[in-house]
Amino acid sequence: MKITQKSFGKTKNGEEATLYTITNSNGMMVAFTDFGAHIVNIFVPDAKGKLVDVNLGYENLAGYEVNPPGFGAFIGRHANRIGGAKFEINGKAYELEKNDGPNNLHGGSVGYNKHMYETEVYEDEDMTSVEFSRLSPHMEQGFPGNLDVTITYSLTEQNELVIEYLAVSDRDTIVNLTNHAYFNLSGHNSGSVLDHKVWIKSNQFTPTDKFLIPTGELRDITGTPMDFRTLKSIGQDINADYEPLKMAGGYDHNYVLDINGSSVDKVAELVDDKSGRKMEVFTNLPGMQFYSANFLKDSTHTKDGAVYKKQDGACFETQYYPNSCNISTFPSCLLKAGKEYDSVTIYKFSNK
């Protein structure tokens, strides 16, 4: 295992950003920056050892400072949507930015991916880690509580990208952290992922209204195009005449994961027959947003000058269910003062 550091440029505010790159003995290579705790690169070998970057993103810091799609972004304080951009804790109402129609999306327009982070590096024999941390002050984005938040990225000799989220608040608050990486196992600039195959360990999803806010229903996926309990291509049913798919322009739905949350379990798989690469997803969180990049448009500053288009990537965002802070029947993302938020997500890469 080895880790290198180099300058990633200066932010518009004049802050020096650094790119941290970890390489394991298999040749797998991952890179992160302390600006926004973004995942910048994920180079994965195929069966013949050919390395390809499977993570959509930008060539330089300028791209990440804007980053409308959220490529590789650390999302907080609350991932996904909050209906009406408001919630209550202990009888007190909190108003958030309405940055997605009448709702709040990913915490607001200035998310956790728009800040600089303090960094620590940890090196072990079979794993190297980069820890990013900062204090999110009371009422930042409209959320109560000073939140000490840490995200640690680790690369193992088993080709696992391990992400651990830790957070502690001095007041009762809500916390729902995730990463918004877009994956294309043929390579970030290889076009559509509709021929990639997906498996998801889920029997239900949370249908939404027209603003993509969950209604509170947990709907059985049996006999619907939402069913990924058997490995199938993303494109197989994506254009089916099914209201949730038509409303979202494809897959952009929270899956109720069939796990109990007491351990880190396998919940999804992405397979690319063309390259032979496979990615397995593990987590201890109750939900996962499967997103087929329906709103992806041309971007500037992209890696290798790539022109990213709709459905050129897929996201597997482990999470609490969207709007769970307003739906009492959903698992709660309420974090009590002094208690620790601790979640783990692993993306494990291999060859078929």
Active site residues: 180, 317
- Three-state DSSP state, 148: strand
Q: Are 29 and 21 in contact (CB under 8 A)?
A: yes
Distance CA 232, CA 219 (A): 20
Residue 75 CB contacts under 8 Å (≥ 6 apart), including other chains: 106, 107, 111, 112, 113, 177, 178, 179, 180, 317
DSSP letters along 73-93, please? -EE-SB-SEEGGGEEEETTEE
Q: Are 141 and 81 in contact (CB under 8 A)?
A: no
Is the peptide bond between 229 and the residue preceding it cis, with omega within 30 degrees of 0?
A: no
Tokens of 138: 């009371």
Distance CA 293, CA 273 (A): 20
Number of neighbours of residue 154 by Cβ within 10 angstroms:
19
- Return the amino acid letter for 236: Q
Residue 258 CB contacts under 8 Å (≥ 6 apart), including other chains: 201, 202, 203, 267
Kindly report the CA angle at 295 between 291 and 300, in degrees rounded to 5? 115
Distance CA 37, CA 22 (A): 15
Q: Residue 244 — φ and ψ, nearest 5°?
A: -60, -35
